[in-house]
Chain A
Amino acid sequence: MFRKKNTAGVDSDAIREILDEKKTKMKLSLKACAHCTLCAESCFLFMGRDKDPKYMPSYKFINSIGVLYKNKGNVDKLDLGEIRDIVWERCVLCTRCYCPMGIDIPEMIALARRVCRSQGVYPRYDQE
């Protein structure tokens, strides 16, 4: 977490521009998350992966879009790579997650995907 970031090849301003578009909603939603884990069972991937906490909807948005807002877009390729793994490999955006607060989890994941895509970080199924 405290490693030195190497932001070469990342356009932080472009990231910030995307983040600013939905800042109020996203920040309120991140704040409103009570970290209660009640959303866990609603995600079939969480259930299918032996209830691994890394597949919890809240874990996924906190560690993707949450990290992006926390760092105000100042992330490097390594961070983006980790976010990519979370928002593509651990979520299929099926939009079935349930949060008692009414937090719009899929939109948060989708926004994190958009940020990654804007920096050319996304799964390359043709190459992998």
Chain B
Amino acid sequence: MELSNILSGTCVYDFVRGPLVWISFIIFILGTIFQVFRLLSLTRVEETVKLKSGPGSFLPKRSEKEKTDWGLRARLSIFGVNPFLIVVTTLFHVLLVIMPIFVLGHNILLDNAFGISLFAFPEKTADVLTQIVIICAMIFLYRRLFVDRVKAITDWKDYLFLLLAAAPFITGYFAFHQTFSEHYRLIITLHILSGELMLMAIPFTKFIHMFYLVIIRLTVKSEYSLGQGDRVW
């Protein structure tokens, strides 16, 4: 039997949209709790000894302008160094997180299962946002394939996880537009399956950079910390 036949078979279809949904959510939630605690356990709170600056202090102070002028702050940040990539990556990551929650189809499922539903994007908006995610993923792929500095540190896992992150959107796009309508069930199965695989992979693979970024930059004291972290490694 061909793989596509197996995947769209009733048995697999029912498993993927039934038990595997629960399994993937449980793995995701437990894995997340475990990794968050692990990251926190690697760091500890340390009292800061506030040093007074001596005469003729040479520690550069942030000028008033630097504190309030957001345009200047942006130029001095990583945005000023790599504006294009920062826009692409921000769009990609924000949409990656919010799209699955606010797509109409998902909300209907939520409604059927629990009788609750959240705000949902109008279908046209969701369609455009999906296309933006796919374009961002293609930009990443282009960088991995053709930009020397990215190529230099790319391994097969980077392609795999890029595909895994983009797959729910690509299959979602096909499903919405009924692109391969004769294989609709296969597309839907792949859509759900890739979403579930992604969810399960988040706490245990390179997707972990999601938690790493939030926890380490918010809680660890460093030159580049975000906010008033008081922990040290």
Contacts and interface: CB of A to CB of B under 8 A. Distances in A.
Interface string B190-233: 00000000000000011011001100110010101100000001
A32 B212 contact: yes
Nearest to B215: A102
Contacts of B154: 35
Given A100-B213, A101-B216, A62 B208 contact: no
A10 to B, nearest CB: 25
Contacts of A101: 209, 212-213, 216-217
A100 B28 CA distance: 24
B81 interface: yes
Interface residues of A, number: 30
A42 B225 CA distance: 15
A33 B42 contact: no
B158 interface: yes
Interface stretch (A12-20, A53-61, A78-86, A110-118): A53-61
A47 B205 CA distance: 31
Interface string B89-119: 1000000000000000000000000000000
Contact of B233 (A25, A35, A59): A25
Given A28-B38, A101-B216, A41 B150 contact: no
B233 A104 contact: yes
A91 to B, nearest CB: 15
- How would you classify the secondary structure of chain B's contact residues: helix, strand, loop or mixed? helix
Contacts of B78: 38, 98, 100
A36 interface: yes
A33 B89 CA distance: 15
Contacts of B82: 38, 41
A102 B81 contact: no
B149 A51 contact: yes
B42 A56 contact: no
14 contacts: A28-B39, A31-B209, A33-B209, A34-B209, A35-B155, A35-B206, A36-B85, A37-B147, A54-B152, A56-B149, A59-B149, A100-B78, A102-B217, A102-B225
Interface of A: 24-25, 28-29, 31-38, 40-42, 51, 53-54, 56, 58-59, 62, 98-104, 107
Interface of B: 38-39, 42, 78, 81-82, 85, 89, 147-155, 158, 205-206, 208-209, 212-213, 216-217, 220, 222, 224-225, 233
Please provide the 7 A-B residue pairs with the shortest distance between their CB atoms, ordered closest to farther. Answer: A102-B216, A53-B152, A32-B212, A102-B217, A53-B149, A32-B209, A101-B213
